[in-house]
A and B are shown apart, each in its own frame.
Chain A
Amino acid sequence: GAGVSQSPRYKVAKRGQDVALRCDPISGHVSLFWYQQALGQGPEFLTYFQNEAQLDKSGLPSDRFFAERPEGSVSTLKIQRTQQEDSAVYLCASSLAPRGNNSPLHFGNGTRLTVT
């Protein structure tokens, strides 16, 4: 595809519901990242995949957050038992190189999650 695609663009969930956010990275991109951006803040790292392997999940705020990329392409971020503090924009980004500091990140437009 032309860029990183995320769906849905907007999600409203009632507190306690589970949600699943999808990311389609650029075809062929090895690395995939999830970031969380609260209102008025910069994005904060959540987790990183190289192909299907989740190599870093140090940014996941709690065990309610789970991410997967089973075939090394599409990724899903799942949040269980959502809380109001989970309200944020969830950004997915991909890059061509594995662990490549010289490989730029391409971001999707994010999923805006609102927990009521």
Chain B
Amino acid sequence: QKEVEQDPGPLSVPEGAIVSLNCTYSNSAFQYFMWYRQYSRKGPELLMYTYSSGNKEDGRFTAQVDKSSKYISLFIRDSQPSDSATYLCAMTTPGTASKLTFGTGTRLQVTL
């Protein structure tokens, strides 16, 4: 079993929909949580970073962490076709620099 589980999708939603992306993890030592967006044939780019349980909002994006359930989520409001990409969750433990453990990635398609 992988340390980080993420549904690979694909997930198809209409423009304007609210998107919910999720990851579960098994290693309770993970303390820092990130969401990356990866367009086709590009490198991952950091969207959200958080280290505490609760919600963090940035524009149309909200990251949610529940350490007690070992569950993290990314919500995208008012989704746009330009949001179509693969979304990767990633996490790391303190003192390991940015040695990230990634999920498989969820491929999202936002249709007109």
Do the two shown chains form a genuine complex with each other?
yes
Chain A residues in the interface with B (C-beta under 8 A): 4, 31, 33, 35, 40-45, 48, 50, 55-56, 91, 93, 95, 98-101, 103-110, 112
Contact present for B99 and A56 (CB under 8 Å): yes
Query: Which chain B residues border A44 with CB–CB below 8 Å?
Result: 102
Which of B32, B95, B100 has the most chain A CB atoms inside 10 A of its CB? B100
Q: Take A40-B8, A42-B104 as given contacts and tell me if A108 and B98 are in contact as well, using a CB distance cutoff of 8 Å.
A: no
Q: Which of B54-112 contact A (CB under 8 A)?
A: 88, 90, 92, 94-105
Query: Which chain A residues border B7 with CB–CB below 8 Å?
Result: none
Bound-state Cα–Cα, A99 to B105, Å: 25
Bound-state Cα–Cα, A109 to B88, Å: 15
A33 CB → nearest B CB, Å: 6
Contact present for A104 and B49 (CB under 8 Å): yes
Bound-state Cα–Cα, A104 to B34, Å: 9
Contact present for B98 and A93 (CB under 8 Å): yes
Interface of B is mostly: loop
Contact present for A110 and B43 (CB under 8 Å): yes
Query: Which chain A residues border B95 with CB–CB below 8 Å?
Result: 99, 101
* Residue B14, interface by CB 8 Å: no
Contact present for B8 and A48 (CB under 8 Å): no
Contact present for A42 and B102 (CB under 8 Å): yes
Contact present for A104 and B46 (CB under 8 Å): yes
Bound-state Cα–Cα, A63 to B51, Å: 35
Bound-state Cα–Cα, A48 to B90, Å: 17
Contact present for B42 and A109 (CB under 8 Å): yes
Q: Take A40-B104, A41-B104, A42-B103 as given contacts and tell me if A103 and B43 are in contact as well, using a CB distance cutoff of 8 Å.
A: no
